Amino acid sequence: MPTKSSTNHYGTVAVTIHWISALLIFTLIGSGFRASGMEDAAAAKVAILQVHVPLGVTILLLTLLRVIWWVFADKKPRPVPMPTWQERSSRAVHLLFYVVILGMAASGIGMMVLSGAGPVLFGGSSETLPDFWKFLPRVPHGIGARVMIALLVVHAGAALYHHFFKRDGLLRRMWFGTG
């Protein structure tokens, strides 16, 4: 499979970034909601956030890498023929993914900085975690998680619709191999 995309199939770099990002985003959503439902003093919450925070930074870096890849190194395959409203919806969903990912990263970093939780999570401090709800970035972070879930449902639903009903090869383009 070529590193770069062809006119009909995404290349190895794009496919790898896509699926690693998807896996990490699902992990982040699960760990974020799990941690949110725990007491702030719980050792289990600290353990979850010690994974959640670095994964969030990893998603930010993968997203920036993806943007750099598309701008400087590769071109996306031709669009699969579809009605104009579907093509516009697809573009909107993809743009919203970027906006939400960057917003989630900004609000997550904001919570860490404003709350001072970094030393508790990564510095071995014996202090307990702060109440993140006391910090302004917590609200958009929670909203962003719910918007991300909605986007994932729409994105996956559209891909499955194209794969099983339209049978137009759309989903196979974003998998390893030559399509």
2 contacts: CB under 8 Å, gap ≥ 6 = 11, 12
Residue 3 lies in a domain: no
Say how far apart CA 157 and CA 151 lie, in whole Å: 10
Contacts of 79 (CB under 8 A, 6+ apart): 87
Question: Which residues have CB under 8 Å from 66's CB, separation 6+?
Answer: 14, 17, 21
Residue 172: per-residue pLDDT: 92
What is the model's pLDDT at position 140?
97
Looking at the domain assignment, is residue 7 inside a domain?
A: no
Is 62 inside a domain boundary?
Answer: yes
* Inside any domain, residue 1: no
Residue 136, domain member (yes or no)? yes
Residue 125's CATH number: 1.20.950
Per the prediction, the chain carries an average pLDDT of: 94
Q: Can you tell me the distance from the alpha carbon of 83 to that of 90, in angstroms, rounded to the nearest whole number? A: 11
- What pLDDT was estimated at residue 125? 75
What is the arithmetic mean of pLDDT over 38-52? 89
Whether 179 has a pLDDT exceeding 60, the answer reads: no
Question: What is the count of structural domains for the chain?
Answer: 1
In a domain, 179, yes or no: no
| Chain segment 100-139, per-residue pLDDT in tens | 999 999 999 999 999 999 998 998 777 789 999 999 999 9
The pLDDT of 49-74, averaged and rounded, is 97
Q: Residue 97 has which token pair?
A: 């993914």
- Domain range holding 68? 12-174
Q: How far is CA 116 from the centre of its chain?
A: 24
For the stretch 140-177, pLDDT in tens is 999 999 999 999 999 999 999 999 999 998 999 999 98
Domain assignment of residue 5, yes or no: no
Q: What is the pLDDT of residue 178?
A: 66
User: Across residues 19-25, what is the average pLDDT?
Assistant: 98
The tokens describing 123, both together, are 């510095």
Residue 52 resides in a domain:
yes
